[in-house]
Amino acid sequence: MKIYGVAVLSLCFLTGQLLGEWLGRMFDFNGNIGGVGFAMLLLIIFGDWMKRRGWIDTESESGIRFWSGMYIPVVVAMASTQHVKAALQGGWLAVVAGVGGTLFCFLLIPLLAPKRDHDRGSSNDKP
């Protein structure tokens, strides 16, 4: 059932959050370090592990896919809002570093993206 997929997702979320909080306390940081990332990694690993063993049916798998599809954009949006607020409170150096890092990543896209045949022009362009 789909409810089992939601249960797996919530278990992974809680485990990831606890791990992130533990890491935050271990490094004397007032916050969660990577809880969302740990939760998504756990969901991928645990879901694949259950699927290989035949413990999950197609409805449960569709429940996991649905909620993970909803979970990622919402959490990324929440995290980005918090990072922007923190950067603005941290001063202009934080804003410049964030904008600079983003622009640098945009400039790397052409170098890292593979060239495809349709990018080079049509094969009917022979002289």
41-92: pLDDT as tens digits: 888 888 788 888 888 777 777 777 777 777 667 766 666 666 666 666 767 7
Query: Does a structural domain hold residue 69?
Result: yes
Query: Does a structural domain hold residue 103?
Result: no
Quick check: 21 pLDDT over 70?
Answer: yes
Please give the residue that has the higher pLDDT: either 7 or 18.
18
Quick check: 10 pLDDT over 70?
Answer: yes
Query: Does a structural domain hold residue 7?
Result: yes
CA atoms of 65 and 108, how far apart (whole Å): 30
Residue type present at position 12: C
pLDDT at 121: 54
Query: Does a structural domain hold residue 9?
Result: yes
pLDDT at 103: 92
DSSP 114: P
**Residue at token pair 């004397």:** 28
List, in sequence order, the alpha helices (H) in 54-119.
58-90, 92-112
Query: Does a structural domain hold residue 109?
Result: no
pLDDT at 81: 64
Structural domain span for residue 69 = 2-79
Please give the residue that has the higher pLDDT: either 38 or 92.
38
User: How many domains does one find in the chain?
Assistant: 1
Q: For the chain, what is the mean pLDDT?
A: 76
Q: By percentage, how much of the chain surpasses pLDDT 70?
A: 72
pLDDT at 2: 62
